[in-house]
Each structure stands twice: as structure tokens, then as C-alpha cells.
Amino acid sequence: MHPAASIIFFTTLSGLGYGLAGALGLGVLAPGLMSTLMAYGLALALIGAGLLSSTLHLGNPQRAWRAFSQWRSSWLSREGVLAVIGFPVIAAHGWLTFSSGERWPLLGLAAAVLAAATVYCTAMIYASLRSVQAWNTWLTPACYLAFAVAGGGLLALLFLAWQGALRGPAVLAVAALVFCAWGLKMAWWRRMDSEPHLSTTASATGLGKIGRVTLFEPPHMTSNYLTREMGFQVARKHASKLRKIALVLGCGLPFLLAIMSGGSGAIAVLLAALAVVAFYAGVVTERWLFFAEARHAVTSYYGQ
């Protein structure tokens, strides 16, 4: 599948934003502080940037409002509806906790649940497609949710460090979440590498019962929408290198930096910020691979 920059930034930024919104909803940061209010602002900015980015790949973005109508059947529509509901809930929780100095736990829980549900819908847009076998597994929403939670946890660490409230247990919990996310991702990769193709040239043409089928002549000499959009597959050797890069950036570095940030002061803030940056770079690499490595069934008609 073609790894479109707009979709990579949409899924990674909104994942990070919803992760932070979830952590805030669960009351990880102390209420009533300006820095906590800024954390809400950052979460909403990340979510908003992601959603805006997602409209960049539309052929007719002026009609995007129509996408809220088909929530009964479409995961993409459900995601849009939940994003629109979640935004004011997260904003309201942020403002109320800031202005009153109290936690508003029920509203916070609602914000966290909406954040998780939105990330789940985003993942299900991909996981529901049988035509892309690598995505068509429960591991896809599990990975999206785990990356959102781990990213939100790392951002929460950054704000805790800034507030001078960073403690050992929080660091260890977030480190565990980061490991958990990448563990799920490794299971996802292992499944993709080991499962035989669901659809092949034999089943796509129905000629497999007669004998061995190979593409003799494609229907067109140059590329078309299908080959550009669905035909993209990164070479295996690069994929394995990029997976290692993603693991080092997204798992190893944030873990080390988070552990080192256990102290206090400017150094702790800097290390926590670097942990977030490294994690995000790792997740962007992972998300690029998520698209670039996935094989679409239609490539069976194009000799792949």
C-alpha cells in the first residue's frame, strides 16, 4: 500500500494526542495548574493537526462533512463522529479541572473512553479490510491503542517532569507501556511474515484449478491508480532494517531516556522531551512500514 504522508501524520499525531488526552482524563496530572491546562491544549492541537492532515488526501475535501453520516456501517464515519464528540468533552474537562482545581473524574473518564474509542475506530478502518491481509487482524487495533497509550504516557512524563512531580513508579509504568506496545507490534510483524497469502494469482483468476498461473502481459504499460495506490511494497531488506530503526528509536531510546529522566529539574524535562521525540520518530517509521509493507489482494492481478 502507498504510504501517504497525510495518513501517516494523521494516524501518528492523533494517536499521540488521544493518548495524552486519555492520560489527562484519568487524572495523571495535578488539576488547577497552568502547565496541566497546556497539556490539554497540546493534546487537542495534536488531535486537530492529525484530523486536518487526514483531509489532505481527499479528492473533494469541501464535502468532508458528509463523512459523519454513515456511522452505522463505516469505521471511517464512526471515527469522524467520535472525534467530533470527543473534542469538546476533552476541552471541557481541561477547562473545568483548571478553573476549579478539582479532578472531575467522571467527565475525565468519559474523555478517556472517547479517546480510546476514537483510536480504536481509526485502527478498525484498516483492520476491517480483508483485502489487505496484514491489517486484517485484532493485533492492528491492539497496536494502535498500545502506541497511543505509550505515547500519551511519555508525554505525561514530560509534563510531570516540568511540574517537578516525576516519581519512579510513573517512569517504570510508562517504560512498561512502551515495551508492551512494541511487543504487540513484533507479534503483528511475525503474523504478517508467517501467514501464507489469502489471495493469490490462482484464486484471483480462478485458473489455479487448471494449473500454474503467471502474469504474461499487464493491462497497461505505465502505472495507474491501482498500481500507485495498492502496488507499493517496500523491498524486504529495507523493511528489516527499518524495523530495527523503528525499534531503536521507538523502544530502546525512549526507555533509556525515560529511566534517566527520573531526577528533577531542567535535565529531567530535556530527557523526557527527547524520549517523546525519539518515540514519535520510531512510531512514524513503524507507520510508514504499516502501509509500505502491506500487500493488497489486487496485486495478485499484477504479478505480485
Partner 1 sequence: MTMLPSVAPPKKLGLVIDLDVCVGCHACVVSCKEWNTGGYGAALSDQNPYGADVSGTFLNRIHTFELVPEGGEVVGEAGDSRIVHFPKSCLHCDDAPCVTVCPTGASYKRTADGIVLVDEEKCIGCGLCAWSCPYGARELDLAAGVMKKCTLCVDRIYNETLEEVDRVPSCVRTCPANARHFGDFADPSSNVSIMVAERGGIDLMPEQGTRPVNKYLPPRPRQQLDRVIPLAENSSGAAGFFAWLDGVLDRI
Select 36 or 300, whichever has its Cβ closest to partner 1: 300
On whether the CB atoms of residues 64 and 58 are closer than 8 A, the answer is: yes
- Closest listed residue to residue 249, CA positions, set 154, 169, 159: 154
Shortest distance (Å) from residue 130 CB to partner 1: 6
* 3-state DSSP assignment of residue 137: coil
Shortest distance (Å) from residue 119 CB to partner 1: 17
User: How many whole angstroms separate alpha carbon 144 and alpha carbon 159?
Assistant: 23
Question: Could you list the residues that contact partner 1 (CB under 8 A)?
Answer: 1, 57-61, 63-64, 66-70, 72-77, 80, 125, 128-132, 198-199, 201, 203-207, 209-220, 222-226, 229-230, 296-298, 300-302
Select 132 or 273, whichever has its Cβ closest to partner 1: 132
Shortest distance (Å) from residue 3 CB to partner 1: 13
CA distances from 83 to 71, 120, 122, 224 (A): 12, 11, 10, 33
- Closest listed residue to residue 90, CA positions, set 26, 29, 21, 148: 21
- Residue where the block lists cell 497469502: 197
Which cell is 243 given? 524495523
Shortest distance (Å) from residue 243 CB to partner 1: 23
Count other C-beta atoms under 10 Å from residue 55's C-beta: 13
Beta bridge partner(s), residue 132: 296
On whether the CB atoms of residues 287 and 12 are closer than 8 A, the answer is: yes
For CA atoms 11, 14, 20, 26, give the dihedral sign. negative
Select 98 or 302, whichever has its Cβ closest to partner 1: 302
Select 117 or 125, whichever has its Cβ closest to partner 1: 125
Select 93 or 295, whichever has its Cβ closest to partner 1: 295
Shortest distance (Å) from residue 296 CB to partner 1: 7
Shortest distance (Å) from residue 292 CB to partner 1: 14
Select 223 or 264, whichever has its Cβ closest to partner 1: 223
